[in-house]
Amino acid sequence: MLDPALDTLLLPFATRALAFPAAGQILFLRARMGQALMRPDVPRQRFLCHQTFQPFARDLSAADMVLERDSAGPTGSFQLTLALPPRQRDEARFLLAQAVTLTHPGGTIVAAATNTEGARTVEADFAKLAGDVVSLFKNKSRVFWVTLDPERIDRALLQEWLALGSPRKLESDDRFLTRPGLFAWDRIDAGSALLAKHLPDDLAGSGADLGCGFGYLGAEIMARCPAVRALDCYEAERLALDLACENLTPLGGGVKLDFLWQDVTDGLRGGYDFIVSNPPFHTGRADRVDLGQAFIIAGAKALKPGGRMFIVANQHLPYEATFAAHVARHRIIATADGYKIIEAINIRAVSTR
């Protein structure tokens, strides 16, 4: 798969504008695996990678890259730090500040982003924090770097941006801690709210929330469905899952909660009486209908016979055909504000051939 930001991140080393240090670990924040890392001049065996999104972490592990497992991030001081800042600006600013705190004075920080991910803005933010940067352009992306001079760091801005990585109460619903970068991090998502409104209060037994985020649907289920005895919360983003655990555990009462850092499309435990989900359907600016379809298929396989699944989706997404192929019965039970709520009942055996 093409990864323009990763390819461009390593451009200064390919052109010899920069050189990898001769010894010591190289920190890679928000690391991703890709063909660019397989070049013979890249000392990937010395990389220390931090990645909280499970599919990317899985790919790095499969390539024998060293992973920092603590979701809070690495500690120490590095001569070279690489970073792939995310699209969300506060999260990107936190990442840049984190890179500054983890890099030796006189060390180098290199970051890259695609133009559609706001590369020009990230570069400008980086210059405000650490001083003038050098940049190159390729693959509709920018790579920019700085040799870290402690005298040029804006210390007030550094502390302000480091604070952006700390959980804070959701202003509209103080049951929840949240943080920048999570899906709908600063609000209750309208689709999730519509789904919660239309969930029946007779849900019972063992259930799962696929892509649980910071835990909103789980909290609504436990508040309204007294016959629920167990809830598995699946989430690929570890930062969201950690907050879901913190948010839901005090609300659990007699409900057995489990929190799984897992890509739903890799399969589920199974044996569920009910499943709820607001599945992802895009990557960057592009619709990815296959992501939601994969959630539906995984959920259908994990339902008990007679079990129910409730999905919220944008009205234009063609999920009905996927439901028809994998469950005995489905129907739209609500539409509003561009969303639809689909209820599916009873698994159907599907050939794997």
305 with 193, same domain: the answer is yes
Given this model, what pLDDT does residue 281 score? Answer: 74
Given this model, what pLDDT does residue 71 score? Answer: 83
The answer to the question of residue 306 being in a domain is yes
Number of structural domains, the chain?
Answer: 2
The answer to the question of residue 307 being in a domain is yes
Q: Are 96 and 111 in contact (CB under 8 A)?
A: yes
Given this model, what pLDDT does residue 2 score? Answer: 84
For 125, phi then psi, to 5°, come to -65, -40
228 with 337, same domain: the answer is yes
183 with 281, same domain: the answer is yes
Question: What's the whole-number average pLDDT of the chain?
Answer: 94
Return the amino acid letter for 188.
I
pLDDT grade, residue 232 (50/70/90)? very high
Of 107, 142, 165, which residue constitutes the final position of a domain?
Answer: 165
Of 112, 140, 165, which residue constitutes the final position of a domain?
Answer: 165
Given this model, what pLDDT does residue 350 score? Answer: 44
Residue-wise pLDDT for 173-193, tens only, equals 999 999 999 999 999 999 999
User: Average pLDDT, stretch 64-72?
Assistant: 89
The answer to the question of residue 352 being in a domain is no
Ranking 38-42, 232-236, 300-304, 345-349 by mean pLDDT, the lowest is 345-349
User: Average pLDDT, stretch 39-65?
Assistant: 96
The answer to the question of residue 332 being in a domain is yes
Distance (Å, rounded) from C-alpha 203 to C-alpha 228? 6
201 with 54, same domain: the answer is no
The answer to the question of residue 295 being in a domain is yes
pLDDT grade, residue 96 (50/70/90)? very high
Structural domain including 119 reads 4-165
The CA angle 44-146-114, to the nearest 5 degrees, is 70
User: Average pLDDT, stretch 71-100?
Assistant: 95
Give yes or no for residue 286 having a pLDDT over 80. no
The answer to the question of residue 264 being in a domain is yes
74 with 202, same domain: the answer is no
187 with 277, same domain: the answer is yes
The answer to the question of residue 353 being in a domain is no
Tokens (6 digits) for 328: 């005995």
Distance (Å, rounded) from C-alpha 332 to C-alpha 338? 13
Q: Are 306 and 271 in contact (CB under 8 A)?
A: no
Distance (Å, rounded) from C-alpha 330 to C-alpha 170? 34
Between the two ends of the chain, the Cα-to-Cα distance in Å is 26
Given this model, what pLDDT does residue 288 score? Answer: 76
Distance (Å, rounded) from C-alpha 293 to C-alpha 291? 5
The answer to the question of residue 266 being in a domain is yes
Tell me the chain's radius of gyration from C-alpha atoms. 22
For 235, phi then psi, to 5°, come to -155, 130
Given this model, what pLDDT does residue 279 score? Answer: 92
76 with 173, same domain: the answer is no
150 with 186, same domain: the answer is no
pLDDT grade, residue 352 (50/70/90)? very low
Of 132, 165, 198, which residue constitutes the final position of a domain?
Answer: 165
62 with 200, same domain: the answer is no
Give yes or no for residue 284 having a pLDDT over 60. no
Query: Does the reported pTM lie above 0.85?
Result: yes
DSSP 113-133: EEGGGTHHHHHHHHHHHHS--
Could you tell me the CATH number of the domain that includes residue 154?
3.40.50.150
Residue-wise pLDDT for 135-175, tens only, equals 999 999 999 999 999 999 999 999 999 999 999 999 999 99
113 with 70, same domain: the answer is yes
Residue-wise pLDDT for 201-213, tens only, equals 999 999 999 999 9
Which has the closest alpha carbon to 149: 100, 114, 110?
100
148 with 25, same domain: the answer is yes
pLDDT grade, residue 282 (50/70/90)? low
Residue-wise pLDDT for 301-345, tens only, equals 999 999 999 999 999 998 999 999 999 899 999 999 999 999 999
Alpha helices in the chain (DSSP H): 4-9, 11-14, 54-62, 89-101, 119-130, 155-162, 190-198, 216-224, 238-248, 289-302, 320-326
35 with 86, same domain: the answer is yes
- Percent of the chain scored above 70 by pLDDT? 96
